[in-house]
Structure 1
Amino acid sequence: MVNAPDWFLAPMLCKTTQRETLDTHGKWDGYIAEPKHDGTRCLAVRFAGESVRLFSRSGQDYTDHVPHLVNELNAWMPSDEDAIVDGELAIISDTFDLGGKRVPVTDFNKTMRVMGSGAEKARDRQKEFGKNITFIIYDIPQWNGRDLTGEHFTDRRKTLKHSFTFGSEHLFLNPQFTDPTRFGELFDTLVEHDVEGIIIKNATSLYVFEGRPNSTWFKVKAAVTMDMVVTGFTDGTGKYEGMIGALEFGRYTDDGVVYVGRCSGMTDALRKEMSDDRDSFIGRVVEIKSNELCGSKEYRSPRHPQFVCFRTDKLPEQCLGEELKQDKDA
């Protein structure tokens, strides 16, 4: 873990399923749906007598990036007992009403420009954008010194709702939707409003740390995105002669990084930066998107993959290619 304290545990993650499963009658009975937001996953941690600290899923300390959130979380989270809150850091560009519930729309590019910077630059960029990072709250694994990981999701959510003060400017409780017969319709509406997708959680699910996808939580996204490890580059041709061409990427395994594919889509400025110092980009975590996965093997291949961004909040060891696996659990 990067800069992570010894006690740090990564947050619970989702397995990936496909849009068509949302319309399967009876499949999602006993599940609850929430909007899936495109930002930086975060755990807010407060030990008794201490100030709140914020950590990415890889254990990177973001506390100094968002001092306004630290102040708001200190005002809400108990000061005399341990507490952990799970959520997403993001700049909210808009909100809309859906069934009487307010749904946030996040600005991924601005969020990454803030959270991918050093602390001082992150604070400056929030001023530049005229918007501060918001903490969209998902779950509450610990509260008032009580371990809630062994409680059902619905019970943890009740604790969260009862404890949460809704007047905070940059704390946002993620809305929930409970009619499984309309999950497909819900997903389509969210995507139409530029929300990344949907999360579906078993109402009886326990909270499991350690950052591994769990078969009681599922996600569906409009475009399939995956975090991969940069393995190399092809040489450019034509207008890119003398520069890099495509970026090659792979998934992490116990035996090393296994090649998955290659992508383009980088800006000319980024392409030049990578061309000038290729070696420094090898091994970095890169987010890739694709509209379709192909193949019948255990791990499918992304069709026409495109570069999205580099991720500073994740480690190569976390890039297991779970999004590419054949969907057996859902």
Structure 2
Amino acid sequence: MSIFSDYTEFRYIYPPRPEAAIAPALLKGFGEGWAAQPKYNGSCAVLFINGYRDYQLYNRRNEKLSLQNVIQYNLLNDSEKYMVLCGEYLNKNKFGEDGKAFNHKFIIWDILVWRGRYLIGETFENRLTLLHELFGSSRGYVSKNNMSIYNHLHTTQVENIFMAPAYLDGFCELYQDVAETDLYEGLVLKKANARLEPGFREKNNHSWQIKARKPTLNYKF
């Protein structure tokens, strides 16, 4: 067991993010052993939930995220201990799958701490399984006035909080599909059996992740 396993008080954890990028055409070379999640065009964020009452939302540079709407993050926690989630806070006025602005939402794509235990040594596959056990895998959300169905988002029990689905094959076709939506930047591929390492430095856990994103003026892929 890691000496960092117990997480009983706030300490910032940098999110596991990919450094390496590939051209989308190279996705055909990836298959068994990899899992792909959509790459969302927002602000990478780390959510620290302390029990059922307190939470803090930070960006990937260890700064409190500014200009955020109130969301009931504490409803995600299933214990009085810490839960830490990585995700994307949508604040760039991008358009969603229905062509309408999709702003001030939080999309979970990893879990780092659960019930006060830092999940160091747990595989990405195990952490995905835990997320699905906690939040389910529904792609529909029903409110008082509307019902929404999503292609590349899982809904949760909390309004404006979603979870990224994971795909195990067909990455080229998946990329072409998500690239049609403004909200999606591309894909992030992660080794399913990669074990979580401590995230107390900005660059961490990048050896088992690769991103493939849409070309822009700032980068070719």
Query: Mind listing any 5+ residue stretches in structure 2 that lack a counterpart?
Result: 1-8, 137-155
Does the CA contact (< 8 Å) of 2:178 and 2:186 recur in 1?
Answer: yes
Equivalent residue of 1:23, what SS?
A: helix
Cα shift at 1:36: 0.5
Identity %, equivalent residues: 24
Please report how far the alpha carbon of residue 221 of structure 1 lies from its aligned counterpart in structure 2 after TM superposition. 0.7
Cα-to-partner distance string for 1:215-258 (whole Å, 9 max, x where unaligned) = 2111001116xxxxxxxxxxxxxxxxxxxxxxxxxxxxxxxxxx
1:138 aligned residue: 109
In 1, the alpha carbon distance for the partners of 2:15 and 2:35 equals: 19
> What's the counterpart of residue 194 of structure 2?
205
Where does residue 171 of structure 1 map in the other structure?
161
Q: Choose between structure 1 and 2: higher strand proportion.
A: 1
Change (3 A) 1:48 1:168: closer
Shift of 1:77: 1.4
Question: Is contact 1:13-1:211 (8 Å) kept?
Answer: no
1:22 aligns with 2:14: no
Q: Point out which structure has higher relative CO (alpha carbons under 8 A, 6+ apart).
A: 2
Q: Which has the larger radius of gyration?
A: 1
Shift of 1:146: 2.0
Alignment-derived partner of residue 3 in structure 2: none
Q: Does 1:219 align with 2:211?
A: yes
Partner of 2:95: 93
Aligned residue-pair number: 187
SS at match of 1:85: strand
Secondary structure class of the residue paired with 2:109: strand
Question: How many angstroms does 1:140 deviate by?
Answer: 0.4
User: What is the 5 A alignment of 1:310-329?
Assistant: none
Partner Cα separation in structure 2 for residue 44 and residue 22 of structure 1: 30
Residue 191, structure 1, aligned to residue 179, structure 2:
yes
TM-score relative to the length of structure 1: 0.51
Structure 1 unaligned residues grouped into runs of 5+: 97-104, 108-130, 225-287, 293-330
Matches within 5 A, 1:95-114: 95=97
Aligned residues: CA RMSD: 2.6
Residue 58 (1) aligns with residue 46 (2): no
Could you list the per-position Cα deviations for residues 194-229 of structure 1 after superposition, in whole angstroms to 9, with x for gaps in the alignment?
Answer: 3210111110122332332612111001116xxxxx
**1:120-139 → structure 2 map (5 Å cutoff):** 133-139=104-110
User: Are the equivalent residues in 2 in contact too, given 1:39–1:106 (CA < 8 A)?
Assistant: no
Amino acid at match of 1:22: L
Q: Deviations over 1:132-170 (max 9, x none)?
A: 510000000111112213111111111111112622221
Q: Which has the higher helix share?
A: 1
> Aligned letter for 1:34?
Q
Give the Cα–Cα distance (whole angstroms) in 1 for the partners of residues 97 and 62 of structure 2: 29
